[in-house]
Amino acid sequence: MDLPSSLSIEMLKQQAKSLRNELNEKGTLIGHSEALERLAHRYRFKNWNTLQAVVKERASTLSLMRDDKVKGRYLGQPFTGTVFKIEPQGASRYRLTLNLDTPVDVVRFASFSAHRKRITATVGPDGKTAERTSDGMPQLILDL
């Protein structure tokens, strides 16, 4: 069985729970840890720890490349654009430079504007910055 790219740890644990319940109904009593091990073997992994590590590693990777089209929100403003540059910054952070299709106004003050066509930010695998605006929202949120 191939490992779907969208698979999460939570989904795997739910599958293990379903497997355990299915086997228990048929008279084969197994615990949750045994169900996790059997599930790992179904996906052709040596054990649950190996499967879990692979899924976690996939989750910590941002799957963007130069010239990819992106959309999201920057400082609360919706945008569309293109990845100009992507640089790994440690284990699971990425410094992105985006060329925006239409400049966004980065100032919220009504009588003043400052438009940006190119922005740079460091995001995690979820496509969000750790840095926040004054209202608590991430400065950059990518729709992945």
- Structural domain boundaries in the chain: 9-59, 69-142
User: For the residues of 108-130, what is the DSSP string, one character each?
Assistant: --TT---EEEEEEEEE-TTSBBS
Q: Can you give the pLDDT at residue 74?
A: 96
Tell me the pLDDT band of 5, cut-offs 50, 70 and 90. low
Q: Can you give the pLDDT at residue 60?
A: 63
Q: Can you give the pLDDT at residue 54?
A: 83
Q: Give the dihedral sign, CA 114/103/86/56.
A: positive
Q: Can you give the pLDDT at residue 21?
A: 95
Q: Which helix (H) or strand (E) holds 70?
A: strand 69-74
CB atoms within 10 A of CB 85: 12
pLDDT digits 0-9 by tens, 48-58: 999 998 888 77
pLDDT digits 0-9 by tens, 81-136: 999 999 988 767 899 999 999 999 988 888 899 999 999 999 988 899 999 999 99
Task: Please report, to the nearest 10 degrees, the dihedral formed by the alpha carbons of residues 17, 22, 27, 29 taken in order.
Answer: -10
Q: Is the pLDDT of residue 4 over 80?
A: no
* pTM summary value: 0.60
Name which of 116, 82, 110, 78 is nearest 96 in CA terms: 82
pLDDT digits 0-9 by tens, 18-59: 999 999 999 999 999 999 999 999 999 999 999 998 888 776
- Mean pLDDT to the nearest integer, 3-13: 80
